[in-house]
Chain A
């Protein structure tokens, strides 16, 4: 292997070819859905792979879906639930991870294992008890109920991953901070948190995904019209128009697009978080 060849032309072309191919695989199904959602029923079946033309362009699916549900409200509900849960998961999770990674105290390992239990059983199993709890506290059909459940659900993984990363933060740095007289809180918020930003961003992404996409708890805890999330809304539409593929494809596209836009918007922050936080 040539020693200068890190960026040789064939190698670069090969890298691009592989990445392009995989990008195509990743995007193709999504594109098929979105493109076909703009076509008439017969065109969807006859020529699923061609883009809509003047004759086959049809918005009937969107008209059907938008006439029946308040997708803007559903989207807003999903957004509030996801952002609030994410905030609490990251804040509480990082604090607990720091305590577990930083301090040696009796019961540390036990506490770590206790928190890790949650990764091992799907929280769905506790449904009946959780629902009883929410009924007793009058939180049924509120977004607060969902936020509480998702916070609890996201914490174990967050603590598990963050404590791993926090152990990699240099002790010298923290001790220097302590010698400068910083309180433990300041050490956590000012020194440690910025350093684990890349890990936080990563945890954020895949804490967010299951929350945004969850169907079960919205269905059980908050199925009422004003608290419906977008995933639940889309699922009901798919069920309702199961043979009307115009409407199904439009509902799917409407469920995909907001996440897509949100993701494209945040992915820059996310990547900046990952790259700038990386200690060089």
Chain B
């Protein structure tokens, strides 16, 4: 009995096992990605479009959950079992992979000429000599609002910070809507939708960011502490129990029509379009005084690179060249409104909300998130610490000054700016 059962089990496992190893005759490319939200778009739109033009190359999109992506990818790269194409996080995380020789140099890839230096900056070495990922998209921060609610309450999008808080007071007084949908439970909302969203207006975008990298400014300077002070004021306008409100909670709170404003990244657009049953609008982060130059965070967020150990490097390069083409840019930007193409070729977008976001590029100055380039190379990691501190500040468990001082201390402990 026992031996029979054992044999049966072994056979079953080996049959199932070998099914997993089945080889296709064509070159099959596997894409590693954290964008499991996009699975359907890849399967239904992007991959068929590529395969129709390139018979003989099959593409499999194999995403893992965003939280596990980096750890799982690193383990697979170290052991040599990672997919051919690697979706690239911006800046240091991917640079590290390139330095370890795990991402191939793509500087001379056909199609790379379609991208400006700014677009490539997130995936280029510090000396600007080598580019190792094809830029795919950037995301813009701002605020999405419930148009129906605004009409009902008779308010218009604010331009200055005073107007912003006056508006929040008005929504709160009325009581029909929770003024703002944001939680601090997942930490990153507080930092990304909060600090990095409103911050550029204070530190004047690139000017402040570069000064920080050069060591000419410190995180304890007023322009870096003030955004924290403003964030601390948000506390009164968030929903009950926002300390335990997770990111999906916030999204649901807004799309169910219970909150009036959502501090957002443009990537929310596609999700909100399918779930919200009211009209939506968007406004950029309000400036301090009327007439001030406005700054927006227009952050290079996603690229795609080639696993240096790929056995299908030629096929993979064909695919990457296609990703660099205007055709891909058009399909991608329209399938995922809110992910804005980095391609130099102009891309026509249908979605009105996405058009609204992208129109800010003309009137405001663009910058990227302050913590992403160079400053998060050491331990303690500035980006991760900023998550924790932003949440603390909004929760009211730490003052803006104390939070900024801690961040500066942590940064100084390993970062010596090149003079």
Contacts and interface: CB of A to CB of B under 8 A. Distances in A.
Q: Do chains A and B touch in the complex (CB under 8 A)?
A: yes
B4 interface: no
A189 to B, nearest CB: 9
B81 A131 contact: yes
Interface stretch (B72-80, B168-176, B328-336, B349-357): B72-80
Interface in A96-116: none
A223 interface: yes
B13 interface: yes
A224 B81 CA distance: 12
Contacts of B255: 243
Contact of A226 (B16, B67, B248, B256): B16
A224 B60 CA distance: 10
A132 B81 CA distance: 9
B155 interface: no
B340 to A, nearest CB: 21
A77 B66 contact: no
A244 B256 CA distance: 11
Contacts of B5: 87
Interface residues of A, dominant DSSP: helix
B21 A80 contact: no
Interface string A112-133: 0000000000000001100110
Interface stretch (A7-15, A157-165, A179-187, A234-242): A234-242
A224 B20 contact: yes
Q: Residue among B5, B39, B78 with the most chain A CB within 10 A? A: B78
A245 B275 CA distance: 11
Nearest to B62: A223
- Give the contact-size bracket for chain A: 35 or more
A42 B13 CA distance: 44
Contacts of B19: 226-227
Interface string B2-43: 000110011011101111111000000000000011011000
A143 B65 contact: no
A131 B79 contact: yes
A219 B64 contact: yes
A128 B79 contact: yes
Given A142-B18, A239-B66, A87 B9 contact: yes
Nearest to A245: B252
Contacts of B75: 127-128, 131, 220
Interface of B: 5-6, 9-10, 12-14, 16-22, 36-37, 39-40, 62-68, 72, 75-76, 78-81, 247-248, 251-252, 255-256, 271, 275
Given A220-B72, A239-B66, 4 more contacts: A128-B75, A143-B17, A144-B17, A239-B36
Interface of A: 42, 45, 68, 76-77, 80-81, 83-84, 87, 127-128, 131-132, 134-135, 138-144, 147, 219-220, 222-224, 226-227, 235-236, 238-240, 242-245
